[in-house]
Structure 1
């Protein structure tokens, strides 16, 4: 039975930590950096929000229980930490800033979310089978990851006629756009600008 899934509390804890580390804290940091006119930090956080949109895409793909959601979720856990440390010019600008509360908070968050998502990616590896094994998405092993997205739908789309399939369609459109832009960046822009974020 689903109630016997021993790791259910860990899955829910992961979603709660995800809200804290990937939404609340970076939003506070972005507002803080904007108020203090810390341009390098603002640029870093804007890039972060672009890359981390894959997490929201994965959430919407999980609402109708589409297996590709597990691939998107795993990919987001890999791409976000890379996006936070990849840019040489931003790293240099942040390193040159005086040691103030904003810089300390940003550095602490960067390390915390990097560790959290890296460990999360390792722990998520067994669940990639939910994307590739036919019919496994309906198993309790996989279904436990769909509980929070369904609750999200009830909370944010309650009373609407929006079906899970339509929300999944929106997620799929987002995923296609995301993959196209990522491909363009890796194949074209990365060769031109390297690890500089000036054009981001």
Structure 2
């Protein structure tokens, strides 16, 4: 005996309901990616200051993630930079850069905050002179202080991975504007304004 029309409708409704549940479950467990990242911070107006040629400046080096050793271990995301004092001697607090560094990653083209951390201290430094008896560090022209900070895993927003912080949107793009923007900030009581370095700045007149 065949099924009635009502039975067919009930079966169809049941199948559609199961498909809807399956789709919702797959979406909730899917990787969101940087476009869906949320959190405090304003990535719509990120622009580094334009210091004078003879002023102190912060210069970004390399950044990325790697295991602690070639044999494996914990994965660490590090950022390297160097501090140039400018034409005049630069006095800084000692210990050098303790709690002085902030890091922010912004999604490409003014997108959401992907990762953010403040009050970081370097995990390693080079070229930093010994502190004076008064507890200060003095950098003179021609000297460069190198620092490396580590991005804490807790700084990365939900739905974002370490890989996302290095990946373009779209993937494998040759355009610098398609990659996340790293904003590194160095603050010290002896500086009138924090020093800021960006991995990418847009053309003049466009705020990222």
- Between Structure 1 and Structure 2, the one with more helix by share is 1
TM-score, structure 1 as length reference = 0.23
Higher strand share: 2
Give the number of the structure with larger relative contact order, counting CA–CA contacts within 8 Å between residues 6 or more apart.
Answer: 1
Highest Rg: 1 or 2? Answer: 2
Given the two structures, how large is their TM-score scaled by the length of structure 2?
A: 0.23
